[in-house]
Amino acid sequence: MISVAMTTYNGEKYVKEQLESILEQTKPVDEIVIMDDKSTDETVEIIKKIQEKSEVKIILEVNKENVGYIENFRRAIKKTKGDIIFLCDQDDVWYKGKVEVMSGLMENVNIGVLCSKYDLIDAFGKHIKSEDMKFSGDRNIGDDLIAQIKFSELLFGNIAPGCTYCFTKEIKQLYLRQINNPIIHDYAICLIGATQGKLYYFNRKTMEYRLHGSNSIGIEKKTEPEKLELKGRKKPYLIAFLENYYDIMKSRDKLKARFILYLRIPVIKVLVDNAFIIAKEKIKHG
């Protein structure tokens, strides 16, 4: 069984095209679970019209209050019943073979989470270049059709936008362990897949990722690294997240995470600087 976990919020401009691209797949999905975050435009009405005519089961729920995109995706993922779950935004376009090719890879290779390449389009559907974006949909990872991504590679950030993902129900259950964590849903899913040695990247384009002024979250232009303001933080937020999975993680991955992530906490630098100041004062005053 194949599920799609989709979230919507004021997506009336693009949601119809997105849903149609899912319904026109060469391999049909079995269900589309849509969580709407209390849209104030015509998004829900558009979905209902498609729902009435669709041969694919479309489950639509509207939140009573805005919960934000992280919690909204969590709710959509939780309601899926498939053996393979695809993540879906409201404003992209899937190529017709996306489900068939990616689910085929999932079924024939020991993959837990599979990301892919993509094309970037603007608000009008025109293709745009991605060299100056944080994630480049044109890049290849490795030389093969699919490439395994190591856990350590994710400790410095995500590798691809969540709308390119599909993952197994086993990964879903692991993902649902964590509650009220600031880690964005797609990054969390990638991290979990990597802890199992089952995160892969598919070096083919499977969809069009739309950039426009109303993206809830999306690909940003590359910028210089910013200094993190984590005053008083004693534990990296990624460590707090990963502690939910220590029972299934390899010892070497735990050590890598601690070593790399603790070194990045500004408060550690402050403590070291303060220690030097105290030492100098002691020497100065004998």
177 and 76 part of one domain: yes
Contact 236, 181 (CB under 8 A): no
Which among 210, 245, 269 is the end of a domain?
210
The answer to whether residue 37 is domain-embedded is yes
Three-class DSSP labels, 66-127: CCCHHHHHHHHHHHCCCCEEEEECCCCEECCCHHHHHHHHHHHCCCCEEEEEEEEECCCCCE
Amino acid present at 231: K
Split into its structural domains, the chain has a count of 2
Token pair of 130 as six digits: 């991605």
271 and 151 part of one domain: no
Which among 158, 175, 210 is the end of a domain?
210
83 and 38 part of one domain: yes
140 and 261 part of one domain: no
Q: 225 by DSSP, 3-state: which?
A: coil
171 and 50 part of one domain: yes
| pLDDT at residue number 33 | 98
Nearest-angstrom CA–CA distance, 136 and 119: 9
| pLDDT at residue number 168 | 98
261 and 160 part of one domain: no
Nearest-angstrom CA–CA distance, 47 and 23: 13
The answer to whether residue 232 is domain-embedded is no
142 and 244 part of one domain: no
25 and 77 part of one domain: yes
Chain length of the chain:
286
Characterize the bridge pairing of strands 166-168 and 113-121.
Answer: antiparallel
| pLDDT at residue number 284 | 54
195 and 279 part of one domain: no
| pLDDT at residue number 234 | 66
125 and 168 part of one domain: yes
As separate numbers, helices (DSSP H) first and strands (DSSP E) second, the chain gives 9, 10
The answer to whether residue 254 is domain-embedded is yes
Nearest-angstrom CA–CA distance, 118 and 206: 6
Q: 């890598």: which residue's tokens?
A: 256
Amino acid present at 151: F
Domain around 264:
237-284
pLDDT of 180-209, one tens digit each? 777 899 999 999 999 999 999 999 999 999
Closest CA to 48 of 60, 37, 65, 35: 60
What is the pTM (predicted TM-score) of this model? 0.84
| pLDDT at residue number 35 | 98
Closest CA to 175 of 256, 258, 83, 241: 241
Token pair of 254 as six digits: 């735990």
120 and 161 part of one domain: yes
Q: 195 by DSSP, 3-state: which?
A: helix
Which among 160, 191, 210 is the end of a domain?
210
Contact 179, 232 (CB under 8 A): no
The answer to whether residue 80 is domain-embedded is yes
The residues facing 200 across adjacent strands are 114, 148
Nearest-angstrom CA–CA distance, 239 and 191: 11
247 and 153 part of one domain: no
Contact 266, 227 (CB under 8 A): yes
Q: Which residues in the chain show pLDDT less than 50?
A: 215-232, 267-269, 271-272
| pLDDT at residue number 269 | 47
